[in-house]
Chains A and B, each alone.
Chain A
Amino acid sequence: MSEQLELTENALRRKVPATVNGKQQVPFSGVGKFQPHGRKAAPPISSNKDYPDTGDKRFPDLETALRKCGLRDGMVISNHHHLRDGDKVAMMALEAASRLGVKDLLWFPSASFPSQKSAIDLMEEGVIHHIEGSMNGPLGDYCTQGKMRGMGVLRSHGGRYQAIQDGEVHIDVAVIAAPTADFFGNADGSHGKSACGSLGFALADSIYADRVIVVTDNLVPFPCVPWQIQGNYVDCVVEVASIGDPAKIVSGTTQITRSPDRLRIAEFVAQFLRESGIMKNGFSFQAGAGGIALAFVQYLKGLMKEDGVKARFVRGGSTKFLVEMLQEGLTDYILDGQTFDLDGVKSMANDSRHVATSPFTSYNYHGKGNFASLVDAVVLGATEVDVNFNANVVTHSDGRLLHGIGGWQNCLFSGCSILALPSFRDRIPVIVDEVTTLTGPGEMIDVIVTERGIAINPRRTDLLHAVMGSKLPIRPIQDIKSEVEKICGGKPARPKLGDRPCAIVKWVDGTVLDTVWQVG
């Protein structure tokens, strides 16, 4: 990549490339400022005459199916992360493409995982040109070392749906891993030996890709119900022995943190929801599957029982802790985007109040509203946050790309966005002057909860008033920051970043929020 890149400054004074991988970009212009135009993308019109009347779309293997779908050099191939680190299908598809001799693919996963690090070899061999999608672990490192031929594009779950729907990314072939499917291509994630819960991440691909392949290790006679993915979008069905490693698809045991500091943070968050009046009958919340989030749910449950409060719905990532809330009558529904443990998978399969959702219903910003803004409070993490409440979730403070955005950006539209963070990790302060990589604008982030106190965004005078007089340790963010810097022996040095962009961070509307620079 030797082209000279033109950089522009966006509304938050971040330098971003004007073009990425040959495509003109729109710099971030402020939350809710960008107005899209035009019509949505669409795949070509297909005809039933080209598909068997028997409904049987099976092909013997992925190579044949990819050939049938016309995979060739330079195309976009997509995969999904509902099998998480246990997924085998993405590498199966990419290796099949490699055997077909195809080069320069744009790989477009909804997220990548450490188990897919052999994608690095395929980039070295020229099979993959570059990756657009969250890059975790080794792939993230490869990208920030500047070794990828194209630029990485990081999108939220909702942003990925938006990009597909708006035609920013045109998927030539989508390969969808299905824990259960029939020969027609109807597919479901909540049953089968590789059950994972929802297949929502693959929804956009099934609708908008030119060609769709479903890969399953649990082929059932038609009809496969529920059909989370509709066979009417599907070209080919391939049966394989195993689509993933069940041990890594869902963790059998989601563990609450045992760290006293993290428990303290979790308890503060729960108390904050009570004291601020957010925790009231009919409310809703979302928390992830991290140790603090799980502990938060347990504390909140206790407070809800004490106060006799019931939620209307809770948003997953579901775990057994949310399932228990449903079973104990503390919530009417779980609206679930992905399922983190076996209890969650079983619940979704058996309880009609545990509903699978998709990035379309939950997160897509170019829709007619989405569920994210209907949630009263969301509890999230971050790698860094700055004194203006801007936050970073994709890079570590040294600039290395190590995490995806996930639904994080989309969740910021909730009524109260809370970041629950230890105030320092090892010796590294979490509150900084300016975040290394801007992933969420400070105006969207309301509360920072650390073990040393709670900082409320000064813009949220309503929240400040609501908790006034409570026993919660409400402190200015600068105050917590200075205390931590004193403990850590001064401010950390700023990381030395290169001047070459290796990835960009998109905002939920497809505009460019920030640049990830090459390190080292």
Chain B
Amino acid sequence: MTSVETKPPRSGEAGHWGAEVRSDLHVAFESRDSGGIEISLESRVAPYYGSAILDQTREVLAELGVEHARAVIHDEGALPFAIGARIETAVRRAGAGAGLGKRWLPEQHPSPPPSPKERLRRSRLYLPGSEPKYFTNAALHGPDAVILDLEDSVHRDEKDAARIMVRNALRTVNFGTTERMVRINQLPLGLEDLAEVVGQNPDLILIPKVEQPEQVAEVDRMISEIRAREGITRPIWIMPILESALGIENAAQIATASENVAALTIGLEDYTADLGVAKTPEGHESQYARSRVVNAAHAAGVQAIDSVYGDVADMDGLRRWGEASRAIGFEGMGCIHPGQIRVIHEAFQPTAAEIAKAQRIVAAFEEAQSKGLGVVSLGSKMIDPPVVNRALKLVDRAKAMGAIS
């Protein structure tokens, strides 16, 4: 090396390593003024993917406009999308590379079909945005949606890293037909999240701790801008989370703040904290709030979705919660462990008797239609139009759930 370093090296780190870490890596990056790229790699999978990791590292650095640097990598079997995200995070933290516009994107997995506004949303599985190991197989467990979470499950010092990780996951991880949701941070931080992830076609954005309709409008505006700029035609729905007394009081205005709001949901941990009461398995303390969310959602013609059930070992409690939740008008709830998905789906499925009754009503309705009759009757009873509508909806949902063919 003949040139003389004039500036102190700038450095940045990202990721995790160690015996307990799986499917992640740690990158220590140091920007230099000369000398090209120097990489030191230790990897659990070195015999199989050592040279692939080195190649990818060079590719990512080149893409980011890094010419001279040292990268020390400890890999614990991370997949390529995670490797790229960690390197990019370390480079950005070092203030290196050719600037903000530069990023490395993993191979694009074909996007699933666009998500209809009224699709089935019985279960949405939370995945911490900074834990790539949970992403790859999440959809196998059959949730209606996954939530790549940038908010409460991500440490405040890791927000930048999680954002990049989630962006890469949206682009490359095969989530099958599972709806891909992202929970952004509270505004204004959430706007930075949007800037990173909206370009990768999420199906729905969850906005936490919404108290005013303006917050929804602001998110909606930013999404629209990015969609227009990037030429995205797929819909991106919005689900505001109401987590405070004020948010609950404003539920109706929030639900109608944008035509892109597809559902309204409630966050009970924060809500009960706001009230200063304990969150109980029976949930009496949140009865009013939950009913209000259901009512506001239905008034606005959007779905009402319940909170999560926190005890992953208590399947009976979860089932009771889910059944009670459906009984008051919720259409789904969150889950924090794949083991909860099946129980939730069963809890939100109409009973066989309900389905059979609805099918009889629908058959009677269709018969009346074909005969050109304005009045639907079943046996000796006349069936009111709202009952017919409810039956049609229930049969549709039962079909979507696979309860009937």
**A-chain residues with CB within 8 Å of residue B50 when the two chains form the complex:** 493
B174 to chain A: which residues have CB within 8 Å? 487
Selected A-B contacts with CB under 8 Å, 16 pairs: A260-B337, A261-B137, A261-B140, A398-B47, A426-B23, A426-B77, A427-B49, A427-B77, A427-B78, A427-B79, A487-B79, A487-B136, A489-B52, A490-B52, A493-B51, A493-B52
A29 CB to nearest B CB, Å: 32
With both beta carbons as reference points, the residue of chain A lying nearest to B133 in the complex is identified as A426
In whole angstroms, how far apart are the Cα atoms of A428 and B53 in the complex?
13
A264, CB-defined interface residue at 8 Å:
yes
Q: How far is the CA of A428 from the CA of B47 in the complex (A)?
A: 10
Nearest B residue (CB) for A261: B137
- The distance in angstroms between the C-alpha atoms of A397 and B46, with both chains bound, is 11
Contact A488 B49 (CB under 8 A): yes
Structural contact, A260 and B141, CB atoms closer than 8 A: yes
Nearest residue, chain B, Cβ from A426: B77
B339 touches A428 (CB 8 A): no
Residues of A within 8 A of B137 (CB): 260-261, 451
Residues of chain A with a CB closer than 8 A to B338's CB:
260
1/0 contact string of A404-447 vs chain B (CB within 8 Å): 00000000000000000000011110000000000000000000
In the complex, per-residue mask of A295-334: 1 if CB is within 8 Å of any chain B CB, else 0? 0000000000000000000000000000000000000000
State the CA gap A384–B210 with chains docked (Å). Answer: 50
A452 interface contact, C-beta 8 A? yes
| Highest count of chain B CB atoms <10 Å: which of A264, A493, A495, A496 | A493
A496 nearest CB neighbor, chain B only? B47
- How far, in whole Å, are A490 and B80 apart by their CA atoms in the complex? 10
Complex CA distance for A130 and B337, rounded to whole angstroms: 49
Q: Are B48 and A489 in contact (CB under 8 A)?
A: no
Say whether A426 contacts B140, CB under 8 Å.
Answer: no
User: Known contacts A492-B45, A492-B49; can you find 19 more A-B pairs with CB under 8 A?
Assistant: A260-B141, A264-B140, A398-B47, A426-B23, A426-B44, A426-B45, A427-B23, A427-B45, A427-B77, A451-B137, A451-B140, A487-B174, A488-B79, A489-B49, A489-B56, A493-B48, A493-B52, A495-B48, A496-B47
CB atoms of B141 and A492 under 8 A apart: no
Q: Does B227 contact A (CB under 8 A)?
A: no
B interface footprint on A347-384 (CB within 8 Å = 1, 0 otherwise) = 00000000000000000000000000000000000000
Q: Choose among A452, A489, A492, A495 the residue that contacts B80 (Cβ–Cβ < 8 A).
A: A489
Contact call B80/A493, Cβ cutoff below 8 A: no
Q: Tell me which residues from 247 to 266 in chain A have a Cβ below 8 Å from any Cβ of chain B.
A: 260-261, 263-264
Q: Which residue of A lies closest to B337 (CB)?
A: A260
Complex contact A452–B79 (CB within 8 A):
no
Which residues of B pack against A, CB within 8 Å?
22-23, 44-45, 47-52, 56, 76-80, 136-137, 140-141, 174, 337-339
Query: Nearest Cβ distance between residue A173 and chain B, in whole angstroms?
Result: 40
CA distance A264 to B78 in the complex (A): 22
- In the complex, what residues of B have CB within 8 A of residue A452's CB? 140
Q: Is the interface of A mostly helix, strand, loop or mixed?
A: loop
A451 to B137, CA, bound (A): 8
Is there an interface contact between A428 and B45, defined as CB atoms closer than 8 Å?
Answer: yes
Q: How far is the CA of A488 from the CA of B174 in the complex (A)?
A: 12
A489 in contact with B77 given A398-B47, A426-B45, A428-B45 (CB within 8 Å): no
Q: Mark out the residues of chain A between 63 and 110 whose CB falls within 8 Å of any chain B CB in the assembled complex.
A: none
Closest to B338 in A: A260
- A264–B342 Cα distance when bound, in Å, is 12
* A-B residue pairs, 8 tightest by C-beta: A426-B77, A492-B48, A260-B338, A489-B80, A427-B77, A398-B47, A427-B45, A495-B47
Q: How large is the interface on A (under 10, 10 to 19, 20 to 34, 35 or more residues)?
A: 20 to 34
- CB proximity of A488 to chain B, nearest CB, Å: 7
Residue of B nearest to A397 (CB): B48
Known contacts A488-B49, A495-B47; A428 and B79 CB within 8 A of each other: no
Contacts of A493 in B (CB 8 A): 47-52
Asked if A427 and B140 make an inter-chain contact with CB atoms under 8 angstroms apart, the answer reads no
Q: Which residues of B contact A489 (CB under 8 A)?
A: 49, 52, 56, 79-80
Measured CB to CB, the closest approach of chain B to A403, in angstroms, equals: 17
Interface residues of A in 387-401 (CB under 8 A from B): 397-398
Expressed in whole angstroms, the minimum distance between the Cβ of A390 and any Cβ of chain B is 19
User: Which chain B residues border A260 with CB–CB below 8 Å?
Assistant: 137, 141, 337-339
CB-CB < 8 A to B44: which residues of A? 426
A428 & B141 in contact (Cβ 8 Å cutoff): no
Q: Which residue of A lies closest to B312 (CB)?
A: A258
- Chain B residues with CB below 8 A from A261, complex form: 137, 140
Residues of A within 8 A of B140 (CB): 261, 264, 451-452
Which of chain A's residues have a CB closer than 8 A to the CB of B49? 427, 488-489, 492-493
Residue ID in chain A nearest B44 by CB atoms: A426
Q: How far is the CB of A496 from chain B (nearest CB, A)?
A: 7
Point out the residues of chain A lying under 8 angstroms from B45, CB to CB. 426-428, 492
Q: Are A426 and B47 in contact (CB under 8 A)?
A: no
Least Cβ–Cβ distance between B152 and chain A, in angstroms: 21
Taken together as a complex, chains A and B put the C-alpha atoms of A261 and B135 apart, in Å, by 12
Question: Taking CB as reference atom, which chain B residue is nearest A471?
Answer: B402
A398 to B50, CA, bound (A): 12
Q: How far is the CA of A268 from the CA of B323 in the complex (A)?
A: 27
Nearest opposing residue in chain A for B51, CB measure: A493
Give Cα distance in the complex from A487 to B78, angstroms.
Answer: 11
Measured CA separation A488–B56 after assembly (Å):
13
Bound complex: CA of A426 vs CA of B338, how far in Å?
20
Whole-angstrom distance between the alpha carbons of A329 and B371 in the complex? 60
Give the Cβ gap from A459 to chain B, nearest Cβ, in Å. 28
**Please, which residues of chain A bring their CB within 8 A of the CB of B339?**
260, 263
Q: Considering only CB atoms, which chain B residue lies closest to A400 in the complex?
A: B47
**A426 and B136 contacting across the interface, CB-CB below 8 Å:** no
A451 vs B80: C-alpha distance when bound (angstroms) = 21
Q: A397-B48, A487-B136 are in contact. Are A426 and B337 (CB under 8 A)?
A: no
Q: Quick check: B141 and A427 within 8 Å, CB to CB?
A: no
Complex: chain B residue closest to A484, CB-CB: B136
